[in-house]
């Protein structure tokens, strides 16, 4: 847990004036969550972060890290108990990857063998082969590999709290996405308490359990990404989040959140007349045909089968595409637009048919807040 | 690019020096009845004695310069010294514009004639490039490395030892190499203030207009300079860790 209470920082300028870099910042990052400190440059987010591990001395206020008031702890000891990742990565060029990872364990006086073993395990965690990388020097690694090592170095001594200062800022967008995903996967297991500075709103939405937006040293809003996007507190936040902030929420919601878990379906052997009845009864204009074990195979459109007879397998059309229930709505909407359709059949990892998602249901979910939308969208099946 | 070119030049230079050295060596050994052979026959005793003197002079003065220069450079590079260090280095810089011969002459006024003032003069001439390079090398260690080190909980002395010095080592070594090259080349002048060394043969040779005697001093001096540069080049190659050594 990280708790800041009325934390302030005033820098004296050479002319005798002063600049307030952080003004009475109070916030709390609960155990196991990622809090993204977000804002334009010069807003005080980095200053706030660096006050937590004492790299910048605070002017007033108090800081608790993992239950301890930092004033009562020796700063050097405090820093050894907090993982720290910086934008420039900061791997020491004179040390091998192994020694770089072992810096903090060595400082803490761990058994050398134990520390080295841990370095190997951590490398495996980020998909780098220890046999290849342990003895290499930083300059022999690509930027993305260095960044991964930078992150696991911070994790080496298993600190409960991590401070990350734009940790993925120096990597190309493709690699950044990959590393972000890897990191989130690791975080799911590790449950560290993380303060994470970023200036990239998309990164903040993706990584943050909570987002703290700073402006001119003030903490303006501190909320979950979804609440922030749904209810920006003022014009500054709204404009900072961007005019497309509603669309940004698409990546926060999953298909399963708005899916109509409809059990209406037909099999290939069913009679067309039965399919027609089922559609009319449910008020749908389309119905999905499933295979013998329930995999989505195709669909029928009401208009196409109004005057025909026979079995479903003689009349069905192939599904243009499907979407996984665990995908985010951004993916779902993108597929809908690509295939010019207003609905998608949802499947699980094995291809079993789970339900529908419709454009109407999605736009309703975006219009409402996260919690309201969490109620199933049964009412919005008419587009089907 | 530029660094790469410099490195290549560096490598070429040490290879060249080595090759020239070998050729001279072969000349000395095989040229029993040649010109060089004559010189060797006439002056071998002087040469062996004076080479030892010369090496002593160079070794002691550059050794002392390294011993003093590195701590001085470290001290000047500390953050709390920043206010003064540029001014101090400016004074040093002006110091280098004074010709070495003048420095040697001035050291007579302080220490009289003989070995000690010679060592002192050479020490002064050698000190500056070492201090400047140590200072420069340490100041050029990227700030984010120091930040990362502090952020991970290293104490200042540990950062100096484990992060700053290793990363400055290449630049520091370049300074030492330059300094020693200057030192070996300047050492013959020590003869003028009563220090010993190969300068004895060179200057006496000039005075007596004796070309053989002059060469008996000049050739070993040149060989020593090349040998010193070659050895330091090798040391630079092997002693600096691979991660911060652009040569490897």
| Residue B184, pLDDT score | 87
A90/B147 touch (CB, cutoff 8 Å), yes or no: yes
Q: B1 pLDDT exceeds 60?
A: no
Question: Is residue A370 very low, low, confident or very high in pLDDT (cuts 50, 70, 90)?
Answer: very low
A55/B243 touch (CB, cutoff 8 Å), yes or no: no
Instruction: Give the span between the Cα atoms of A140 and B142, in whole angstroms.
Output: 18
pLDDT digits (tens, 9 = 90+) for A44-102: 999 999 999 999 999 999 999 988 999 999 999 999 999 999 989 999 999 999 999 99
Sheet holding A322-324, edge to edge: A322-324, A343-347, A353-358
Give the least confident one: A39-48, A143-152, A302-311.
A302-311
Instruction: Give the span between the Cα atoms of B158 and A90, in whole angstroms.
Output: 16
Residue A90 DSSP class: -
A86/B147 touch (CB, cutoff 8 Å), yes or no: yes
- Report how many Cβ contacts below 8 Å link chain A to chain B: 74
Q: A186 lies in a domain?
A: yes
Alpha-carbon Rg for chain B, nearest whole angstrom, is 21
Question: How many other C-beta atoms lie within 10 A of the C-beta of residue B230?
Answer: 18
B167/A80 touch (CB, cutoff 8 Å), yes or no: no
Contacts of A96 in chain B (CB under 8 A): 243
CATH number at residue A326: 3.10.580.10
Q: What's the token pair of residue A207? A: 């990584």
A94/B149 touch (CB, cutoff 8 Å), yes or no: no
Q: Which of B4, B151, B163, B171 to mutate to test binding with chain A, by most A CBs within 10 Å of its CB?
A: B151
Q: A335 pLDDT exceeds 80?
A: yes
pLDDT digits (tens, 9 = 90+) for B126-143: 888 899 999 999 999 999
Q: Which of A93, A151, A167, A169 to mutate to test binding with chain B, by most B CBs within 10 Å of its CB?
A: A93
Choose one of A212, A227, A251: the last residue of a domain. A251
Place of tokens 């493709």: A174
pLDDT digits (tens, 9 = 90+) for B34-49: 677 788 888 888 889 9
Report the number of distinct structural domains present in chain B: 1
CA distance readout (Å), B18 to A112, A208, A268, A291, B230: 43, 61, 86, 81, 7
3-state secondary structure of B152: coil
Can you give A225-247 as a three-state secondary structure string?
HHHHHHCCCCHHHHHHHCCCHHH
Q: A382 lies in a domain?
A: no
Q: B95 pLDDT exceeds 90?
A: no
| Residue A374, pLDDT score | 47
Residue B63 burial by CB count (10 A; 0-12/13-18/19+): exposed, middle or buried? middle
Q: A369 pLDDT exceeds 70?
A: no
Q: In terms of domains, do A232 and A285 share one?
A: no
Q: In terms of domains, do A40 and A135 share one?
A: yes
Mean pLDDT calculated for residue range B93-99: 80
| Residue A373, pLDDT score | 44
Q: In terms of domains, do A225 and A331 share one?
A: no
| Residue A295, pLDDT score | 87
- Structural domain of A283: 255-377
Average pLDDT, rounded, for chain B: 85
Contacts of B164 in chain A (CB under 8 A): none
Question: How many other C-beta atoms lie within 10 A of the C-beta of residue B231?
Answer: 13
Q: In terms of domains, do A331 and A246 share one?
A: no
Q: A119 pLDDT exceeds 90?
A: yes
| Residue B113, pLDDT score | 87
Give the least confident one: A123-132, A367-376, B135-144.
A367-376
Average pLDDT, rounded, for chain A: 88
Q: Which of B141, B240, B243, B248 to mutate to test binding with chain A, by most A CBs within 10 Å of its CB?
A: B243
Q: Judging by DSSP bridges, how do beta strands A18-29 and A2-12 pair with one another?
A: antiparallel
| Residue A110, pLDDT score | 93
Top mean pLDDT of A168-182, A185-199, B225-239 is at: A185-199
Pair B75, B139: CB distance under 8 Å: no
A267 touches chain B (CB under 8 A): no
B241 touches chain A (CB under 8 A): yes
Q: B241 lies in a domain?
A: no
Q: B43 lies in a domain?
A: no
Picking from B222, B219, B220, B188, the residue whose alpha carbon sits closest to that of residue B204 is B188
Instruction: Give the span between the Cα atoms of B65 and A29, in whole angstroms.
Output: 55
Q: How far apart are the first and last CA of chain A?
A: 46
pLDDT digits (tens, 9 = 90+) for A227-251: 888 888 999 999 888 888 888 888 8
Q: In terms of domains, do A280 and A302 share one?
A: yes
| Residue A371, pLDDT score | 45
Place of tokens 């297991």: A189
Q: In terms of domains, do A183 and A48 share one?
A: yes
Instruction: Give the span between the Cα atoms of B161 and B149, in whole angstroms.
Output: 11
Choose one of A217, A251, A285: the last residue of a domain. A251
Mean pLDDT calculated for residue range A104-120: 93
CATH number at residue A196: 3.40.50.300
3-state secondary structure of B177: helix
Contacts of A80 in chain B (CB under 8 A): 152-153
Chain A residue closest to B149 (CA)? A90
Phi and psi angles of residue A24, each rounded to the nearest 5 degrees, phi first: 50, 50
Residues ≥6 apart with Cβ < 8 Å to A226: A249, A252, A253, A369, A370
Residue A201 burial by CB count (10 A; 0-12/13-18/19+): exposed, middle or buried? buried
Q: A87 lies in a domain?
A: yes
Q: B94 lies in a domain?
A: yes
Pair A232, A215: CB distance under 8 Å: no
Question: What crossing angle do the helices spanning B35-77 and B165-186 adopt, rounded to 10°?
Answer: 140
Tell me the β-bridge partners of A29: A2
| Residue A180, pLDDT score | 92
Q: In terms of domains, do A147 and A69 share one?
A: yes
B148/A90 touch (CB, cutoff 8 Å), yes or no: yes
A93 touches chain B (CB under 8 A): yes
Place of tokens 């290449």: B170
Picking from A97, A136, A147, the residue whose alpha carbon sits closest to that of residue A118 is A97
Q: B190 lies in a domain?
A: yes
Q: In terms of domains, do A212 and A361 share one?
A: no
Give the least confident one: A206-210, B7-11, B179-183.
B7-11
- Structural domain of B206: 49-225
CA distance readout (Å), A183 to A117, A174, A276: 21, 14, 49
Q: In terms of domains, do A163 and A181 share one?
A: yes
Q: A375 pLDDT exceeds 60?
A: no
Listed in order, strand segments (DSSP E) in chain B are none
Residues ≥6 apart with Cβ < 8 Å to A87: A165, A166, A167, A169, A170, B144
Q: A379 pLDDT exceeds 80?
A: no
Pair A100, B164: CB distance under 8 Å: no
Choose one of A226, A251, A276: the last residue of a domain. A251
Closest Cβ–Cβ partner in A90, A104, A138 for B243:
A138
Top mean pLDDT of A29-33, B4-8, B29-33 is at: A29-33
Give the least confident one: A181-195, A266-280, A365-379, B152-166.
A365-379
B150/A55 touch (CB, cutoff 8 Å), yes or no: yes
Pair A305, A288: CB distance under 8 Å: no
Q: A384 lies in a domain?
A: no
Q: B29 lies in a domain?
A: no
| Residue A279, pLDDT score | 85
B155/A55 touch (CB, cutoff 8 Å), yes or no: no
> Distance from CA of residue B49 to its chain's centroid?
22
pLDDT digits (tens, 9 = 90+) for A255-282: 888 888 767 888 888 888 888 888 888 8
Q: Between these two residues, B140 and B23, which has the higher pLDDT value?
A: B140
Instruction: Give the span between the Cα atoms of B32 and A237, in whole angstroms.
Output: 91
Q: B171 lies in a domain?
A: yes
Pair B126, B119: CB distance under 8 Å: no
Place of tokens 């290549």: B8
CATH number at residue B137: 1.10.3720.10
| Residue B99, pLDDT score | 83
Chain A residue closest to B241 (CA)? A94
Picking from A232, A199, A225, the residue whose alpha carbon sits closest to that of residue A87 is A199
Instruction: Give the span between the Cα atoms of A150 and A317, in whole angstroms.
Output: 51
Q: Which of A94, A141, A149 to mutate to test binding with chain B, by most B CBs within 10 Å of its CB?
A: A94
Report the number of distinct structural domains present in chain A: 2
Question: Is residue B14 very low, low, confident or very high in pLDDT (cuts 50, 70, 90)?
Answer: low
Q: Judging by DSSP bridges, how do beta strands A161-165 and A2-12 pair with one another?
A: unpaired
Q: In terms of domains, do A174 and A43 share one?
A: yes
Q: In terms of domains, do A120 and A210 share one?
A: yes
Mean pLDDT calculated for residue range A331-358: 89
Instruction: Give the span between the Cα atoms of A289 and A112, in whole angstroms.
Output: 62
A107/B154 touch (CB, cutoff 8 Å), yes or no: yes
A94/B241 touch (CB, cutoff 8 Å), yes or no: yes
Closest Cβ–Cβ partner in B152, B166, B167 for A103:
B152
Q: B149 pLDDT exceeds 90?
A: yes
Q: In terms of domains, do A109 and A229 share one?
A: yes
Q: B4 lies in a domain?
A: no
Between positions 162 and 221 of B, the ones with CB within 8 A of A are 162-163, 166-167, 169
A55 touches chain B (CB under 8 A): yes
B242 touches chain A (CB under 8 A): yes
């Amino acid at each position: 847990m990280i708790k800041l209470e009325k934390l302030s920082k005033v820098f004296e300028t050479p002319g005798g004036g002063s600049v307030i870099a952080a003004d009475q910042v109070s916030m709390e990052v609960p155990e196991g969550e990622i809090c993204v400190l977000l804002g334009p440059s010069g807003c005080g987010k980095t200053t706030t972060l660096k006050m937590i591990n004492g790299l910048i001395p605070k002017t007033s206020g108090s800081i608790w890290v993992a239950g301890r008031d930092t004033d009562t702890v020796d700063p050097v000891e405090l820093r050894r108990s907090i993982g720290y990742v910086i934008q420039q990565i900061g791997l020491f060029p004179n040390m091998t990857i192994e020694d770089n990872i072992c810096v903090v364990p060595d400082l803490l006086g761990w058994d050398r063998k134990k520390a080295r073993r841990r370095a190997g395990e951590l490398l495996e965690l980020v998909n780098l082969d220890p046999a290849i990388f342990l003895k290499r020097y930083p300059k022999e690694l690509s930027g993305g590999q260095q960044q991964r090592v930078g992150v696991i170095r911070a994790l080496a001594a298993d600190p409960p709290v991590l401070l990350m200062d734009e940790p993925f800022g120096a990597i190309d967008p493709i690699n950044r996405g990959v590393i972000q995903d890897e990191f989130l996967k690791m975080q799911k297991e590790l449950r560290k308490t993380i303060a994470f500075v970023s200036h990239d709103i998309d990164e903040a939405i993706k990584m943050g359990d909570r987002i703290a937006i700073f402006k001119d040293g003030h903490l303006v809003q501190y909320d979950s990404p979804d609440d922030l996007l749904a209810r920006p507190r003022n014009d500054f936040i709204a404009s900072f989040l961007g005019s497309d902030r509603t669309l940004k929420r698409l990546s926060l919601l999953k298909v399963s959140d708005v899916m109509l878990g409809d059990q209406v379906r037909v099999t290939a052997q069913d009679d067309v007349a039965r399919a027609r009845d089922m559609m009319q009864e449910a008020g749908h204009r389309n119905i999905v045909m499933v295979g013998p074990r329930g995999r989505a195979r195709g669909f029928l459109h009401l208009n196409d089968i109004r005057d025909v007879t026979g079995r479903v397998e003689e009349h069905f059309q192939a599904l243009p595409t499907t979407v996984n229930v665990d995908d985010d709505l951004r993916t779902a909407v993108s597929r809908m637009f690509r295939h010019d359709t207003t609905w998608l059949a949802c499947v699980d990892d094995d291809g079993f048919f789970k339900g529908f998602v419709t454009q109407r249901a999605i736009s309703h979910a975006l219009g409402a807040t996260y919690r309201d939308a969490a109620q199933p969208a049964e009412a919005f099946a008419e587009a089907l | 690019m530029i660094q790469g070119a410099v490195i290549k030049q560096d490598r070429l230079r040490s290879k060249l020096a080595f090759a020239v050295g070998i050729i001279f060596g072969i000349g000395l050994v095989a040229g029993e009845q040649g010109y060089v052979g004559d010189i060797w026959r006439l002056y071998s005793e002087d040469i062996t004695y004076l080479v030892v003197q010369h090496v002593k002079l160079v070794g002691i003065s550059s050794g002392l310069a390294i011993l003093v220069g590195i701590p001085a450079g470290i001290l000047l590079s500390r953050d709390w010294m920043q206010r003064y260090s540029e001014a101090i280095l400016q004074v040093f810089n002006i110091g280098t514009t004074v010709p070495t011969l003048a420095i040697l002459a001035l050291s007579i006024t302080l220490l009289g004639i003989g070995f000690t003032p010679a060592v002192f003069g050479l020490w002064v001439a050698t000190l500056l490039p070492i201090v400047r390079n140590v200072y420069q090398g340490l100041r050029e260690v990227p700030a984010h490395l120091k930040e990362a080190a502090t952020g991970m909980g290293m104490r200042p002395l540990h950062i100096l030892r484990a992060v700053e010095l290793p990363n400055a080592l290449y630049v520091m070594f370049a300074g030492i190499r330059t300094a020693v090259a200057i030192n070996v080349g300047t050492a013959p002048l020590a003869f003028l203030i009563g220090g010993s060394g190969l300068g004895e043969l060179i200057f006496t040779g000039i005075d007596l207009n004796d070309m053989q005697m002059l060469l008996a001093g000049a050739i070993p001096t040149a060989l020593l300079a090349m040998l010193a540069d070659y050895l330091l080049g090798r040391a630079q190659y092997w002693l600096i860790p691979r991660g911060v050594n652009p040569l490897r």
